[in-house]
Amino acid sequence: MNASRGVTIADVAARAGVAASTVSYVLSGKRSISPATAQRVMDAVAELGYHPHAGARSLASRRAGVIAMMLPLRDGMHLPVLMQFASGAVTEARRHDQDVLLMTADEGPAGLARVAASSIVDGLILMDVEVRDPRVEALRRLGLPSVLIGFPADAAGLTCVDLDFTAAGRECASYLIGRGCRDIALLGASEVVYERRTGFAERVRGGFLARGEACDHAEARPCPDDDPVSVQRTVKELLAARPELTGLAVHNEPAVPHVMHALADAGKLVGEDFHVVVIGPDEVGERVHPRLPSVLVPAERLAEIAVGHLMRKLDGFDVPDSTLVEPQLTVR
């Protein structure tokens, strides 16, 4: 056992009394090997604690056994979701015997070119894709197998996975209606969000309003998210316009506490005569009083699906271009 220099396939072969190629075939299953021989090889592998040299393997087989995951680590992303995502991706990748290389989005297109050209990874998961994302263009050019989380403007030929926002809007409306509300409203995202991800906010709105047809009145309005005062004004205006309003969905994380404040000021007893539900990647609902039900991004599922799709692509199978994941409505 040559501990300092590492156990090679030759060591295993010698120990099992076979050729190196036979060991390789036992391990990969790419040719049939007699059970007796296979067993001897496996024993030798176990006894020597053999693990194939990743570099040699990737050189010979043109498969690195590693996928890259590019996360927007630098700016103020929703951390918990990102972690869930990373955790889910690593776990799922390991189930497929792959490792995960972590990249930050600020490596940008050049980073993609680098990992692609150096064959250090077999494929790529790109998180938090924006509508106009320079990385998407680079990706298409490189031809590196990939799965995106989120939808760019031109998704042709790409595999994308995302939350089904229409369903999220619908779920919120359903929840409120289920609580007996007959007049409901959606406070939407701020302008910035609309710019960053076209469709994303609109889809929530669409789902909400469609389901809202079932009650007396349903409407949606945008909501600023930067300063407390304008949020509160927005809420006041809404309440003034719709005195019968009893259900509110908020699709705007930073605004939530201020909305709650404004409702309290207006004498609304949330959870009793008035109902609020939140759509947000974070557990915003947890942080306010009373706790609010919320529609979460099922980050772990998204990651699983993304990695699963990528694996299938790497194995040459087809996967759907677009996969929408059902949101989860959590009631506290």
Binding region for its own copies (CB under 8 A): 6-7, 49-59, 64, 66, 69, 73-74, 77, 79-80, 82-83, 86-87, 90-91, 94, 99-104, 107, 113-115, 117-120, 287
Member of 3, 5, 76, 267 binding DNA (CB under 7 A): 5
Structural contact between residues 302 and 161, judged by C-beta atoms closer than 8 angstroms: yes
Structural contact between residues 201 and 194, judged by C-beta atoms closer than 8 angstroms: yes
Binders in 53-92 for DNA, by CB under 7 A? 53, 56-57, 59-61
Stretch that binds DNA, among 26-34, 158-166, 270-278, 281-289 (CB under 7 A): 26-34
- Which of DNA, its own copies, none lies near 24, with the C-beta cut-off 5 to 8 A by kind? DNA
Give the SS3 label for residue 44: helix
Measured distance CA(43)–CA(15) in Å, rounded: 9
Total site size for DNA, rule CB under 7 A? 32
Measured distance CA(11)–CA(18) in Å, rounded: 10
Q: Which is nearer to DNA, 9 or 262 (CB)?
A: 9
- Tell me how far, at minimum, the Cβ of 41 lies from its own copies, in Å: 17
Q: Which is nearer to its own copies, 50 or 274 (CB)?
A: 50
Q: Which is nearer to its own copies, 107 or 183 (CB)?
A: 107
Structural contact between residues 69 and 89, judged by C-beta atoms closer than 8 angstroms: yes
Backbone angles phi, psi at 275, to 5 degrees: -125, 140
Member of 28, 39, 87, 322 binding DNA (CB under 7 A): 28
Q: Which is nearer to DNA, 50 or 151 (CB)?
A: 50
Contacts 24+ apart (CB under 8 A), 48-54: 48/1, 48/7, 48/11, 48/12, 48/15, 49/1, 49/7, 50/7, 50/8, 50/9, 50/11, 50/12, 51/7, 52/9, 52/27, 53/6, 53/8
38 binds DNA (CB under 7 A): yes
- Tell me how far, at minimum, the Cβ of 56 lies from DNA, in Å: 3
Give the SS3 label for residue 6: coil
Q: Which residues contact 5 (CB under 8 A, 6 or more apart)?
A: none
Element (H or E) spanning 135, and its range? helix 134-142
20 binds DNA (CB under 7 A): yes
- Tell me how far, at minimum, the Cβ of 39 lies from DNA, in Å: 10
Q: Which is nearer to DNA, 11 or 162 (CB)?
A: 11
Element (H or E) spanning 329, and its range? strand 328-330
- Which of DNA, its own copies, none lies near 49, with the C-beta cut-off 5 to 8 A by kind? its own copies
Q: Which is nearer to its own copies, 57 or 197 (CB)?
A: 57
Q: How would you classify residue 246: left for phi > 0, otherwise alpha for psi between -120 and 50, otherwise beta?
A: alpha
Q: Which is nearer to DNA, 62 or 74 (CB)?
A: 62
37 binds DNA (CB under 7 A): yes
Q: How would you classify residue 80: left for phi > 0, otherwise alpha for psi between -120 and 50, otherwise beta?
A: alpha
- Which of its own copies, DNA, none lies near 39, with the C-beta cut-off 5 to 8 A by kind? none
323 binds DNA (CB under 7 A): no
- Which of DNA, its own copies, none lies near 8, with the C-beta cut-off 5 to 8 A by kind? DNA
- Binding positions for DNA, rule: CB under 7 A: 5-6, 8-10, 17-25, 27-28, 30-34, 36-38, 50, 52-53, 56-57, 59-61
